[in-house]
Structure formats: structure tokens, C-alpha cells
Amino acid sequence: MEKMTQQQMAEGQVLLIDKPLEWTSFDVIGKLRWLFKIKKIGHAGTLDPLATGLLIVCTGRFTKKINEYMGMPKEYTGTITLGATTPTYDLESEPTDFKPWQHLQLTDLQAACLPFVGPILQVPPAHSAIKIGGKRVYELARQGKEVKLEPRPVTIDEFTITAVEENRVHFLVRCSTGTYIRSLAHDFGQQLGCGGYLSALRRTKIGEFSVDDADSIESLTERFDASSIAPKLPKPPAQKG
């Protein structure tokens, strides 16, 4: 396992991180900033706390490539739970509006995927980090204020059902940047007439970068040579007289 030094981190690295469940993307950056003792660090595309998977982290000179990486197509796997909806379109809020789903066949699920493949207009979730009037819309939504977001053009290259377990539909999606998988899960449930919400999500690829090549936070910590950080020398005492 090749060790990395603080100087290498400061000069510039592209790191592939497998983001843990319940960590925010900002949590990952905060942890690595503290570990490497560097200021110039950022990530190329937010993952929600309840999602896991590939997070590209850039340090030093490679922070200039963040926008390039953010624009790359994405691949996700995950699970949509049918028969209810949630205000956040995922498990951050409680399911409501329960409806029967037992009548649905695999062919129904496959047919419901088709309208979402190709260039589409997608409405982002009301509980998202998009700003309206300088405020995050999730802040407005939590205050009970009505939030109206305009549809945005995105492209979904593939939306495939990979397995079905009762009302849990496992899927694979390949899509353009800017696609909200939470919205896709919600809209898929609406298409079926029974409702649905995202109950698991994992980002597996960004462009040609794969989560199979990513480090966990623990393995990256082991790869980092902490002894390479220069100790801070104490300031000399002030001269008197």
C-alpha cells in the first residue's frame, strides 16, 4: 500500500473516496482537511447523507478540475420502496399516503421505466440544496413554506430494474449530472400509481472513475504518512527591554 505525504497532498491529488452512510460530503472534506492539514481541498459532486459511494476529492492544483469532474455522467444503484411517499422523497422523512402495490408485475415496473429514459424535464425535490432568493429550498420546506421549483433538463441514459423483493425495487441508473435520483424514485412511483420513495442509493461511477477503485476513510488514513506533517515550532519568547 503506497504511502502519501502531506507535501503530495498539498501539491495536488485526485482521491476516490467511498463515502460512508450518514456522512455528509462536507464531513468527508472536514475529516481529510484535518488529517492532511491542508486548506485547498474540495469534492466534485455532493452525495446525500443517506447515500454511499463514489466521491471525488481534489487537493492542491487539482481543485481546478472540480467543475470538469462534476460535469461527468454518473452511475447509481439503489432501491425504490413502493406503496408510499415521503416529503423528502427518501428515508429522511416518514412515509405517508400508503397505497396498494401488490397487483404490480415485473412487466409493469419495466414499462414504468421507459418514460424516464432519454432527455427529460425533471423537477428537483423541495428538500434540496437549490437556492431561491438566497435561501436553500430545504430550509423553506422545513418552515412549511410552499416551494415551487421549475423543471430542469436532464438525460437518463439507462434506468433498469435489477431485482424485485416484494415492494422493494432494485435499480441501476446511468444519467447526466444534475439528475436527482430522489425525484426519479418519486416520479417512478407516481407513474405506477402507488407512490414510491428512495430507500437506498449508492453512486458507483463518475465518468470512468469507479467506486471499485475508491478508498474508505479508514484505508486512506492508513495510506497517509502522518509523520510527513512538519511540526509547528513554538514562537520564541518576546524580548524584554
| pLDDT above 50 (res 163) | yes
Over range 172-199, report the average pLDDT. Answer: 97
Identify the H or E element spanning 108. Answer: helix 106-113
Identify the residue with better confidence: 234 or 193: 193
pTM (predicted TM-score): 0.88
Q: Class for domain 6-71+207-228, per CATH?
A: alpha beta
Q: For Cα atoms 222, 48, 189, give the angle at the middle one, nearest 5 degrees.
A: 140
Domain with CATH 3.30.2350.10 in the chain: 6-71+207-228, 74-206
Alpha-helix runs per DSSP H in 114-238: 137-142, 181-192, 217-223
Which of 48, 90, 97, 215 is labelled catalytic?
Answer: 48
What is residue 54's three-state secondary structure?
strand
| pLDDT above 70 (res 231) | no
**Sign of the four-CA dihedral 192, 195, 200, 203:** positive
| pLDDT above 90 (res 143) | no
What confidence tens digit (pLDDT) does each residue in 24-53 have?
Answer: 999 999 999 999 999 999 999 889 889 999
Assign 128 a pLDDT band (cuts: 50, 70, 90).
Answer: low
| pLDDT for position 234 | 57
Gap between the Cα atoms of 94 and 84, Å rounded: 10
Can you read off the three cell numbers belonging to residue 91?
Answer: 428515508
Gap between the Cα atoms of 8 and 224, Å rounded: 10
Strands 168-175 and 74-82: antiparallel
If you search the block for the grid coordinates 430522489, which residue do you land on?
182
The neighbouring-strand residues paired with 42 are 58
How far is Cα of residue 34 from the mean position of the Cα atoms in its chain? 22
Fold of 74-206: Pseudouridine synthase (3.30.2350)
| pLDDT for position 140 | 46
Assign 229 a pLDDT band (cuts: 50, 70, 90).
Answer: confident
Q: What is the mean pLDDT of the chain?
A: 89
Annotated catalytic residue 97: no
* Alpha carbon distances (Å) from 23 to 30, 69, 169: 11, 21, 24
| pLDDT above 80 (res 80) | yes
